[in-house]
Amino acid sequence: MEILQRPVWIKKKINLKDCADVKARLKGLGLNTVCEEALCPNIGECFSKSQATFLILGNVCTRQCAFCGVKRGSPQKADPDEPLRVAEGVHRLGLKHVVITSVTRDDLPDGGAQAFIDVIREIRKIDPNVTVEILTPDFNLNEEAIAKVVEAEPDIFAHNLETVPRLYPEARNGANYQRSLGVLAYIKKCDKSMRTKSGLMLGLGEREDEVLAVFQDIAGTNCDFLSIGQYLAPSKAHISVKEYISPDRFIGYKKDALEAGFRHVASGTYVRSSYSASEYLESEKV
């Protein structure tokens, strides 16, 4: 298969020196960051600003998504002390807004929902002024589990659809498009004031009409926020990039998404779910 040449606007480099301070501050806590585990291209930029997205429930995922850099297989037993260590990590970094995500844990009865609840509570014990955003798996649309997470009152409850439904069999093995929409819809059913967020990655071979249809589907759940970014393969073993989306098209997609009804949209090559995450809440103050 022919490998696409990266265009001139794909040029972000990772400087390991930019990562040193965050790694030093978190030393000894035994924490994972999705920045490292998912091989995020923004790691140098975010770490240089003392920003990190914590990955809870281990670093091994039970799903087989072909786009993701996180390890797959049989995860270890959940660590009951992890939430307290995450809270300490937030404190050490001096974060005012933190994003907490996890691997998918289909092996757990609640999909790992209780771990998110515990992390939210521990962070707020240390500093009740920190805004907490959670980016969760689909919990297999376990309504009881989702309702309990909503009751913990995260400031943003995010769940990514990632791509268009046609590409799910290839890109999101084990996930289900309608189930993911159901998660976003059920959060709002539990609490219509809960801010919800989703994310898409482009460049997997989706058509523009499919992207616009997904905007409508997500907005139809009354989702507040949306991130749109370029898929970049973590390695040659992952699904390949089919197209590099131009900066102008990202601007156009942002306009389309806002017209669909989202309150705030971030759209660009290096946009990721947790990239500049505090800006979504800040946009409400403008």
pLDDT one-digit tens code per residue, 211-262: 999 999 999 999 999 999 999 887 777 888 999 999 999 999 999 999 999 9
Q: Does residue 224 form part of some domain?
A: yes
What is the rounded distance in angstroms from the CA atom of residue 223 to the CA atom of residue 217? Answer: 10
Q: Does residue 5 form part of some domain?
A: no
The domain that holds 83 is classified in CATH as 3.20.20.70
In which domain, by residue range, is 101 found?
A: 16-285
Q: Does residue 10 form part of some domain?
A: no
pLDDT band at 84 (very low <50, low <70, confident <90, very high): very high
Q: Does residue 215 form part of some domain?
A: yes
Q: Is the pLDDT of residue 81 over 70?
A: yes
Q: Does residue 4 form part of some domain?
A: no
Phi-psi region of 58 (alpha: psi -120 to 50; beta: other; left: phi over 0): left
Q: Does residue 7 form part of some domain?
A: no
The total domain count for the chain is: 1
Q: Does residue 11 form part of some domain?
A: no
Per the model's pLDDT, the better-predicted residue between 267 and 33 turns out to be 267
The whole-number pLDDT of residue 15 equals 67
With vertex at residue 174, the alpha carbon angle to CA 172 and CA 180, rounded to the nearest 5 degrees, is 75
Across 46-71, average pLDDT? 78
182-198 tens-digit pLDDT = 999 999 999 999 999 99
140-174 tens-digit pLDDT = 999 999 999 999 999 999 999 999 999 998 888 88
Closest CA to 183 of 144, 150, 139: 139
What is the rounded distance in angstroms from the CA atom of residue 270 to the CA atom of residue 260? Answer: 22
The whole-number pLDDT of residue 209 equals 98
The whole-number pLDDT of residue 22 equals 81
Per-residue tokens: 252: 């156009």
Q: Which long-range contacts (CB under 8 A, 24 or more apart) does 177-185 make?
A: 179/138, 179/140, 179/141, 180/138, 181/217, 181/218, 181/220, 181/221, 182/141, 183/136, 183/138, 183/139, 183/141, 183/146, 183/159, 184/159, 184/218, 184/221, 184/223, 185/221, 185/222
Q: Does residue 28 form part of some domain?
A: yes
Average pLDDT, the chain: 90
Q: What b-and-e string marks burial along 157-190, b requiring 16 or more CB atoms within 10 Å of the CB?
A: bbbbbbbbbebbeebbeebebeebbbbbbbbbbe
